[in-house]
C-alpha cells in the first residue's frame, strides 16, 4: 500500500547492489511513494550487480561513484540535482565493507591499512557525502539524511570485527553533522540500527544464520526484514518525522532492549521440549 508520502520529493540512494540489498527495497518503496531519485554505486558494483534493472523499474539513472572519493561525490551530487531538476530532499547512505572481515583477519591481529579502508568506506564516506552536499547547498530545508547502522556500535558481537568501530563512528557523525546542518538548514540526520539481514554485506558476517536465529528468539517482535527497514526509511524521509534528528533509531523488533528471552533460554534448557502444536513461547 502506498500513501504518497514522498510525492514531489527528490532523493539520492546509495548502495543498491541486488534485490537483497536494503537500498534496493528503499528505492522500490520511494518510487511507490511518489519520489524521484538517482541511484549510485561503485563502478565495480555496477558491473557485478543488477542495479540497471532497478533504475529501469524506478525510471531513473545510476551514477557511478566511489563514496570514499570526494571528487566522485562532487560530480554525483551536482549531476543528481541537475538530473532531478532541483535540490535533494533525502539521501540514503547504505554502504558498508570491511576488507578485514572479507579476508577473515581477526580483530586482535588486524591489518591497519584494511582498518582505515573499513572506516573510510563504512563511516567517513557518510561525512564526505554530507560535507559535499552542504558545500553545494544541495539539500532542501527540512531534508532528511539516513545511514544504516548495527547494534555492534553499542554491544560487542562475536566476529563483527572492525565494522563495530565503523558503525560507532557512523552514528557519531550523524550527531555531529546533525547539529551543524540542523542549525543551518533544518536538515535532519539519523542512523537506523537494523536487525541482521541476509544481504551480500550481511552474509559476510561469520555465523550470520545462527545470529539471525538468536536475534529472532530474543526480539519480542522478531527480526526486522529489509522491506520493513525500507518502510522505516520512507517514514524518516517523509514530512511526518520533521523533528527527529541526531538519533540512532533501533529497528530490531526490540532486540537492543533485551537481556534474555524465554525462547532463547529454551535453547540452553536440556529438559525443554517444544510443543509442536503451540510452537515455542
Ligand atoms: N545486512 C545486515 O545484516 C545489516 C544490518 C545492519 C546494518 N546493515 C548496513 O546496511 C547497509 C547496506 O548493506 P546491505 O546489508 O544492504 O548489503 P549490500 O551488500 O547489499 O550493500 C552494501 C553496499 O555498499 C556498497 N559499497 C561498498 N563499498 C562502497 C564504496 N566505496 N562506495 C560506494 N558504495 C560502496 C556496495 O556496492 C553495496 O551496494 C550497510 O551499511 C550495512 O552495514 C546491514
Asked whether the predicted pLDDT for residue 281 surpasses 70, the reply is no
Query: Which is more confident, 206 or 152?
Result: 152
For the stretch 110-145, pLDDT in tens is 999 999 999 999 999 999 999 999 999 999 999 999
For the stretch 241-259, pLDDT in tens is 999 999 999 999 999 999 9
pLDDT at 205: 81
Give the CATH number, domain containing residue 74: 3.40.50.720
Is the residue at 272 inside a domain?
Answer: no
Is the residue at 115 inside a domain?
Answer: yes
Is the residue at 278 inside a domain?
Answer: no
For the stretch 61-110, pLDDT in tens is 999 999 999 999 999 999 999 999 999 999 999 999 999 999 999 999 99
**Do residues 32 and 58 make contact, with C-beta atoms less than 8 angstroms apart?**
no
Domain of residue 227, residue span: 10-255
The closest-lying atom of ligand 1 relative to the alpha carbon of residue 122 is 41
Look at ligand 1, atom 22, and give the residue with the nearest C-alpha. Answer: 95
- Give 217 Cα–ligand 1 centroid separation in angstroms: 25
- Give 93 Cα–ligand 1 centroid separation in angstroms: 9
Is the residue at 166 inside a domain?
Answer: yes
Is the residue at 270 inside a domain?
Answer: no
3-state SS of the chain is CCCCCCCCCEEEEECCCCCCCHHHHHHHHHHHCCCEEEEEECHHHHHHCCHHHHHHHCCCCEEECCCCCHHHHHHHHHHHHHHHCCCEEEEEECCCCCHHHHCCCCHHHCCHHHHHHHHHHHHHHHHHHHHHHHHCCCEEEEEEEEEEECHHHCCCCCCCCCHHHHHHHHHHHHHHHHHHHHHHHCCEEEEEEECCCCCHHHHCCCCHHHHHHHHHHHCCCCCCCHHHHHHHHHHHHCHHHCCCCCCEEEECCCHHHCCCCHHHHHHHCCCCCCECCCECC
The closest-lying atom of ligand 1 relative to the alpha carbon of residue 151 is 6
Q: How many structural domains is the chain composed of?
A: 1
Look at ligand 1, atom 20, and give the residue with the nearest C-alpha. Answer: 21
- Give 18 Cα–ligand 1 centroid separation in angstroms: 11
For the stretch 195-234, pLDDT in tens is 999 998 888 888 899 999 999 999 999 999 999 999 999 9
Amino acid at each position: 500500500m502506498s500513501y504518497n508520502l514522498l510525492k514531489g520529493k527528490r532523493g539520492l540512494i546509495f548502495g543498491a547492489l541486488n534485490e537483497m540489498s536494503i537500498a534496493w527495497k528503499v528505492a522500490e518503496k520511494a518510487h511507490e511513494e511518489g519520489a524521484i531519485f538517482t541511484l549510485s554505486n561503485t563502478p565495480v558494483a555496477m558491473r557485478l550487480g543488477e542495479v540497471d534493472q532497478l533504475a529501469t523499474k524506478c525510471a531513473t539513472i545510476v551514477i557511478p561513484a566511489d563514496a570514499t572519493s570526494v571528487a566522485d561525490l562532487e560530480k554525483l551530487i551536482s549531476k543528481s540535482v541537475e538530473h532531478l531538476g532541483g535540490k535533494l530532499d533525502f539521501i540514503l547512505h547504505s554502504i558498508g565493507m570491511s576488507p578485514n572481515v572479507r579476508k577473515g583477519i581477526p580483530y586482535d591481529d588486524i591489518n591497519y591499512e584494511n582498518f582505515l579502508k573499513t572506516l573510510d568506506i563504512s563511516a567517513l564516506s557518510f561525512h564526505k557525502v554530507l560535507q559535499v552536499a552542504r558545500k553545494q547547498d544541495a539539500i532542501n530545508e527540512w531534508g532528511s539524511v539516513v545511514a544504516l547502522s548495527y547494534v555492534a556500535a553499542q554491544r560487542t558481537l562475536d566476529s563483527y570485527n572492525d565494522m563495530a568501530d565503523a558503525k560507532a563512528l557512523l552514528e557519531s557523525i550523524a550527531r555531529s553533522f546533525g547539529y551543524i546542518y540542523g542549525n543551518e538548514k533544518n536538515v535532519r540526520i539519523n542512523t537506523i540500527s537494523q536487525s541482521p539481514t541476509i544481504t551480500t554485506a550481511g552474509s559476510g558476517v561469520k555465523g550470520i544464520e545462527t545470529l539471525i536465529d538468536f536475534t529472532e528468539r530474543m526480539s519480542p517482535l522478531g527480526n526486522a526484514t529489509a522491506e520493513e527497514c525500507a518502510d522505516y526509511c520512507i517514514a524518516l524521509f517523509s514530512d511526518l518525522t520533521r523533528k527527529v534528528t541526531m538519533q540512532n533509531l533501533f529497528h530490531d523488533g526490540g532486540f537492543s532492549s533485551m537481556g534474555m528471552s524465554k525462547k532463547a533460554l529454551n535453547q540452553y534448557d536440556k529438559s525443554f521440549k517444544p510443543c509442536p502444536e503451540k510452537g515455542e513461547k
